[in-house]
Chain A
Amino acid sequence: MKNKKYDIIIIGSGFAGIASANILAGKGLSILMIDENFHVGGQLLRKIPQELGINKKYKPDYVKKIGNAFVNNLKRDDIEILNNTSVIGIYDNNEILIEIEKKRVASIHYEVILFTTGARERYLPFKGWTIPGVFSAGMSQVLMKSSGVLPSRDVVVGGSGLFLFSAAYEFLNNGAKVRSVLESTGIADKVKMLPVLLHNFSKIMEGARYLGKIGSSGVPIRFNTRIIEARGNGSLEEIVIGKTDRNGKLITGKEKIIKVGGFAYSYGFVPNIELPNLAGCKISFKKELGGWVVDVNENMETSIPGVFCAGEVTGVGGALKSVNEGETASLSILERFEKNGSIHAKKNKLLKERKHHLNFAKYFNTLYGIRDEEISEIPDETIICRCEDVKMGDIREAVSNGFISPGALKTSVRAGMGNCQGRTCGPIIYNLLGSVSGIEGKNFTLFSNRPPVKPVKISSLINRS
């Protein structure tokens, strides 16, 4: 690190981060970009473009080509980039504490901070979901695309949302046997909202490509179907699936067993709001944007002046929405530093385009996602907090004893207290408590985030610079 203070710190180098960095660079501002991963590009561009060539059959799609161009054009002379670096604290006086390469911590000051922290996968726990061989659709994608490894030679893909189909497509492309795709919602709901998609032609084409491959491979797609249980001694051997009604309630007597070595699942994405939450930004529940999101105005500025957010963290809507918001945020930041130009016209155009991205986001976040019926049907013996082995029954008991805020629940049963700090179980617990006490109620507060927001090594803390 060259400086102790930067004009701008960008947290996260996914689509929103690199799109904004490209606009901010070369204007005489000092910029630091921080990412927990070893590479720049976020979850969608797992490997830097030079390394993408490892899989000869792998061709980046339209969206990834845009991302790769951003990474290639990154003005590295103007931007300092710290990879393998986590933010572990944010304090008053525009200060953050970071752990660099798991070796040392350092404190840095900023004038403006931009969070482009992205999203992570959403889970709906089921009996046996902790058995090795049950993994997220995202893990399958990462393994196949960046390491060329199949998580299993035969899989069932299940859950809800478009990501299921891209995962199934990737499995088929790489020679795995996909036994079935389970979509917990029905097909009828989707047709109704098709007009929203017309502004998103590239997404229709993408969907058609996936469905074409899945269809021609003879893989059965089962709608209104979800997994009930995963079974296996130490690793997955079989799954039990069941039919549901339109509300997601299981219809008894329609269970079926499938022998399979891998179950890849996905229920869409939840925004990574932990750092903006720690910074004190206002966060609201907006189901149509994927759940708890950071509130931003048209400048992409949060409730705290000088703190900006862009991309999935303001609402789950895909890579192009992230690019749009990253660019909008950086134009607003340039205005703040009085580095004007023809910013106004550019920003108006971006804001117009953003409406289409938000419409698309509303479309799929409304269609997919987890319903209260599905939460209420989770059996008591199902583990919810994997880090601390807290079961659904423990949580239900605590709730019936009056622990109805996430914070109270955490102190009573330890859910959310482990290594992942509630990143996996938090969204499920919010859903559950929301159906008990009303998620939009004034008293509903999220798990509080405190430093260290990620586990940090004591040896790093000793090596403070």
Chain B
Amino acid sequence: MEDLRINSVERKEKVTIKVNGKDVIAYTGETLLAALIASGYKQLKKSPVLKEKRGGLCGMGVCYECLVTIDGEKNIRACMQDVRAGMEIGIEE
């Protein structure tokens, strides 16, 4: 999968997170939304009525379009969370 990280940026600690059970590389200091997008996860949830695929829109906590499950807790805004080693993310596919 393509990596959308900008090369010139110095990264902090490399960690592994799980996305729907799969190991994904991320770096501390990144928001969870950024880490997911960097690894190709653009679609994060489904809309409530039409079940359309949705992903981050505002990136700053307003739109609630990047809701994911974190360590079993549902409906968390990925843009408002920082990456933590070992966090288990669930996205609706």
Distance between Cα atoms of A420 and B62 in the complex (Å): 6
Q: Which residues of B contact A43 (CB under 8 A)?
A: 60
B38 to chain A, nearest CB (A): 4
Known A148-B30, A234-B53, A387-B64; contact A175-B6, beta-carbon cutoff 8 A? yes
Known A55-B8, A133-B55, A424-B63; contact A151-B37, beta-carbon cutoff 8 A? yes
A234 to chain B, nearest CB (A): 5
A34-47: contact bitstring with B at CB < 8 Å (1 yes, 0 no)? 00111000010000
The reply to whether B38 and A149 contact each other, CB–CB distance below 8 Å, is: yes
Q: Any chain B CB within 8 A of the CB of A306?
A: no
Q: Which residues of A contact B5 (CB under 8 A)?
A: 148-150
Q: Which residues of A contact B59 (CB under 8 A)?
A: 135-136, 138-140, 142-143
Q: Which residues of A contact B30 (CB under 8 A)?
A: 147-149
- Complex: chain A residue closest to B34, CB-CB: A147
Known A136-B58, A147-B34, A389-B48; contact A174-B6, beta-carbon cutoff 8 A? yes
Q: Which residues of B contact A138 (CB under 8 A)?
A: 58-60
Q: Which residues of B contact A130 (CB under 8 A)?
A: 47, 52, 54
Q: Which residues of B contact A175 (CB under 8 A)?
A: 6-8
Q: Any chain B CB within 8 A of the CB of A419?
A: yes
Q: Interface on chain A toward B: helix, strand, loop, or mixed SS?
A: loop
A168-186: contact bitstring with B at CB < 8 Å (1 yes, 0 no)? 0000001100000000000
B36-56: contact bitstring with A at CB < 8 Å (1 yes, 0 no)? 011000111001111011111
B13-38: contact bitstring with A at CB < 8 Å (1 yes, 0 no)? 00000000000000001110111011
The reply to whether A143 and B57 contact each other, CB–CB distance below 8 Å, is: no
B58-72: contact bitstring with A at CB < 8 Å (1 yes, 0 no)? 111111110100000
Q: Any chain B CB within 8 A of the CB of A144?
A: yes
Q: Any chain B CB within 8 A of the CB of A146?
A: yes
The reply to whether B63 and A423 contact each other, CB–CB distance below 8 Å, is: yes
The reply to whether B62 and A424 contact each other, CB–CB distance below 8 Å, is: yes
The reply to whether A55 and B54 contact each other, CB–CB distance below 8 Å, is: no
Q: Any chain B CB within 8 A of the CB of A80?
A: no
Q: Any chain B CB within 8 A of the CB of A120?
A: yes
Distance between Cα atoms of A54 and B30 in the complex (Å): 11
Distance between Cα atoms of A144 and B54 in the complex (Å): 20
Distance between Cα atoms of A174 and B8 in the complex (Å): 8
Known A130-B54, A386-B63, A420-B62; contact A149-B4, beta-carbon cutoff 8 A? yes
Distance between Cα atoms of A383 and B27 in the complex (Å): 35
Q: Any chain A CB within 8 A of the CB of B87?
A: no
Known A175-B7, A386-B57; contact A54-B49, beta-carbon cutoff 8 A? no
The reply to whether B47 and A386 contact each other, CB–CB distance below 8 Å, is: yes
- Complex: chain B residue closest to A39, CB-CB: B82
Q: List 23 A-B contacts (CB under 8 A).
A: A36-B80, A38-B80, A53-B10, A54-B29, A55-B9, A56-B8, A120-B60, A132-B43, A142-B59, A144-B6, A148-B9, A148-B30, A149-B37, A153-B2, A174-B6, A175-B6, A234-B43, A235-B53, A386-B54, A386-B57, A420-B62, A423-B63, A424-B62
**Those 9 A-B pairs whose CB atoms lie nearest each other, nearest first:** A139-B59, A148-B9, A147-B34, A132-B55, A419-B64, A389-B49, A132-B42, A149-B34, A147-B30
